[in-house]
Amino acid sequence: MAYSVLLVDDEEEAIRVIMDKIDWEGLGFTIAGHAGNGVLALEMAEECQPDVVMTDIKMPYMDGLELARRLKHEYPAVRILLCTGFDEFEYAKEAVHLEVEEYLLKPVNAQELTESFKRLRKSLDEERAEKQNVRKLQNYYMESLPLLQANFYSSLIDGRISKSDIPKYINDYQIDLTGPVLCCVDIHTSASEVPEGMSPLLLSMSVQREAQERLGKAWRARSGFLQGAVRHGACDQHHGDCAEREKLSGCRRLRTS
C-alpha cells in the first residue's frame, strides 16, 4: 500500500515541478494533495491524514516551522520534510528540535529528493512492520487469555501463587475479582464413568458449559477447565446467608443433574 504525501508551498510552480519530476508510484508514494500555506495544509491534513508532509518554510499566514510544530502535536506519527531557500542555522536547529525527518535546501534536484523519499519509505516500512508484529502479539495474547486465566484459578486454589503476586496476575489476565464475597467451586469429572461414545475431554467441556450457564450469571463467575476439573471463581455482590444458601443450592442441583 502506497504512503500518502501532502505538498505545501506558496509557489505553485515549485509544487508542479516536484509532482512532475519524481516517480512517486515507483517510490511507493501517492500525492494526497497540495496547499499554498500552512493554514490550508492543516485543514487538508485533518481530511486526508497524510503519512508525509513536504513543506516550504517561508509561506504567508503560517510558515513551515509552525506547521511542522502543529502537525507533530496533532499527528505525532506524520513524517515531515522541510525545504527552504535560506541556509540559516536557526532553521536547521529548529528542524532538529521538531524531529523533522529531512531538511533540504532549494533548489532541490530530482535525485536528491528521490533519495530522501527512499529513506522515508524504508523508515515507514519498518514502522509498519513493527506495528503489525505488535498487533499479532496482542491478538495471540487475547486468544491465550482463557487458558492463562484457567491456569491462574487453578494455581490460586492450590496455593501456588503468593498473596503479593495476585494483583499483578489479576491485572495482566484481565480478571475481575471485586466483591465482598469470594468463593470457589471445584467440579471433577470421572474418567471411568464416561457415557458411551463420549470422550473424557468432551465430557469435561460439556460440564464446563453447563456450569457456566447455571452459575455464571448469578455469581458473575469466571471458569476454566484444567487437569480434569472445572474450576469456578465467583464474585458475589450480595450479602447475607440467604443469598449464599441459594447459590449452594444451585451447586447441588448441578451436581445431581
Which residues of the chain form CATH 3.40.50.2300?
3-131
Where do you find CATH 3.30.310 in the chain? 176-256
Residue pLDDT, tens place only, 237-252: 444 444 444 444 444 4
- Identify the pLDDT of residue 67: 93
Q: Residue 33 pLDDT more than 90? A: yes
Question: How does pLDDT run across 112-167, given as a tens digit for each residue?
Answer: 999 999 999 999 999 999 988 888 888 888 888 888 887 887 788 778 888 899 88
Q: Which of 12-16, 97-101, 144-148 has the lowest mean pLDDT?
A: 97-101
pLDDT at 237: 44
Give pLDDT, residue 255: 46
Q: What is the mean pLDDT of residues 33-55?
A: 94
pLDDT at res. 51: 96
Q: What is the CATH number of domain 3-131?
A: 3.40.50.2300
User: Which amino acid makes up residue 250?
Assistant: G
Q: Residue 49 pLDDT more than 70?
A: yes
The mean pLDDT value of the chain amounts to 80
Class of domain 176-256: alpha beta
Average confidence (pLDDT) over 43-58? 93
Q: What is the pTM of this model?
A: 0.57
pLDDT above 70 coverage of the chain, percent? 78
C-alpha cell at 78: 506524520
